Amino acid sequence: LASSITAVGFQGTAFRPLQVPIPDEHPCLDRNGYGLSKFLMEEISKYCARQADDIDVVNLRLSTVFPEDCLPPLKKVRSLPSVTYALGGLTVVALPDAVRAFSLAAEAPLQPGVRILNAAGPKAWAAEPVWPVS
């Protein structure tokens, strides 16, 4: 099931994760409806898995996907007030990596039940650090 990283609430500017890095099972804290719609579809997949014990579902949560040769410029976060962007704007994945995530999910050994996999870049798409570095 193609889902979105917004299933946890990334689209809203008020969203703050409970934990970083954000775990696959992070609760939905969405406030604008889009993330909630993704979360609810994932819940439907869990319902379907309860109806058929042998079903294997992978909910692949993609971040923003861009062609590899057309990646956007890194965000200059420090020049923006912290409330003007949502964390979802700081997650980017190149198209070949998104295709690879789908391939890995499709080729994974059969595992009845539901799995949730976040498919986001390994770092924030920002020109400077966005989390305090110790």
Residue 84 tokens read as: 């003007």
27-50 confidence digits (pLDDT tens): 999 988 999 999 999 999 999 999
Whether 78 has a pLDDT exceeding 70, the answer reads no
81-125 confidence digits (pLDDT tens): 554 556 666 678 889 989 999 999 999 999 999 999 888 776 667
What phi and psi values does residue 2 have, to the nearest 5 degrees?
-80, 115
Q: Are 13 and 85 in contact (CB under 8 A)?
A: yes
How far is the C-alpha of 41 from the C-alpha of 83, rounded, in Å? 28
Residue 16 tokens read as: 């703050």
**What is the pLDDT averaged over residues 2-8?**
88
